Structure 1
Amino acid sequence: MKVNKHTHLGVYGLAKWQQSYLLIQKARGPYVGKWDLPGGRMEFGEQPEASLIREFEEETGLVPSKVSVSSSQSTVLQWEIQGEPEEVHHIGILYHVISLQGNQLQQIKRVADGHDSLGAEWFTSDQIKDMELTPFAKYMIDLCSS
């Protein structure tokens, strides 16, 4: 059986506020149901930072006003889409979200955005220990915790 293979490049950001991290729950794709960093695919011709700001706002309702590139990571994963096996080389440009616009950081999109997110939520390190995280979310949270 032929396995479809493709590469997905995205931008993702970790925001921290009052000892909590902002995560979204994935609505689709190989990580459905897991908790991830807000972010996603860059549109054609879009700069990575502009993509991050757009995706972050779409998924959380908050707008990053200052970000800093942290790292790039990649993972290869296998899953099935419509009954067909697929391998994805998932590459992420990972950012620290240093500050967010506005002073209503608790007022986030806790409902589905109709695309990638089932909703956003702030979680403490203790809460995160028992959660299913995507590889990029785990990497960034571990980086911040060390």
Structure 2
Amino acid sequence: MNTHTHVGVYGLAVWEQFYLLIQKARGPYYGKWDLPGGRMEFGESPETALKREFDEETGIIPLQWSIRSSQSVVVNWEYRGEPEEVHHIGILYDVIIGQNNNPLEQIKRNPDGEDSLGAAWFTLEQVKDLQLTPFAQYMMNLSQKER
């Protein structure tokens, strides 16, 4: 079995009572809803990667962010017909977005051609019916406890 380690940065953006998620376009979480984010490019700081990934996947650039947690999970899946085990490590952020315009209308709802099938805003009640990635589930559980 092939093994792989993936380190990424992910953020939970909340606008009023809505939570911003993206639907995964590939990888072991295909079709599930995830936090916007992804892999850091070589030499890139985690915060720069978070801003870049948010822009690429949602069209929104965070104004502020703070590290909430780090988590890891091992995921088994099949890649090109071969079993693979991925150790997925995430640096998880709380994200604050600008309030100048209504961000509910200004997101990329269509695929980005890379990792996202599109972004969407959900209420906490709606999130309960979604299939979430482990990191998204973790952050949503924290949000639910804080309410």
Does the 8 Å contact 2:51/2:62 carry over to 1? yes
- Please say if residues 60 and 97 of structure 2, whose CA atoms lie closer than 8 Å, have aligned partners that are also in contact: no
Of 38, 41, 66, the residue aligned with 1:40 is: 38
Instruction: For 2:15, give the aligned amino acid.
Output: W
Match of 1:71 in 2: 69
Aligned length: 144
Q: How does 1:67-146 map to 2 (within 5 A)?
A: 67-100=65-98, 102-106=100-104, 107-146=106-145
Counterpart residue type for residue 94 of structure 1: L
Q: Which amino acid aligns with 2:137?
A: K
TM-score calculated relative to the size of structure 2: 0.96
Task: Quote the RMSD (CA, aligned, Å).
Answer: 0.9
Query: Does the CA-based 8 Å contact 2:33-2:133 persist in structure 1?
Result: yes
Gaps of 5+ in 1: none
Which residue type is aligned with residue 136 of structure 1?
A: F
Structure 1 distance, partners of 2:70, 2:130, is 23
**Identical columns (%):** 68
Q: Secondary structure at the match of 2:97?
A: strand
Which ranges of 4 or more aligned residues in structure 1 deviate by more than 3 Å?
A: none
Q: 2:73 aligns to what SS in structure 1?
A: strand
Gaps of 5+ in 2: none
The answer on 1:56 being equivalent to 2:54 is yes
Residue 105 of structure 1: how far off its partner (Å)? 0.3
Give yes or no for contact 1:23–1:122 (8 Å, CA) kept in 2.
Answer: yes
CA contact (8 A) 1:11 1:92 kept: yes
Secondary structure, counterpart of 2:139 in structure 1: helix
1:117-139 C-alpha deviation (Å, 9 max, x unpaired): 00000000110111100000000
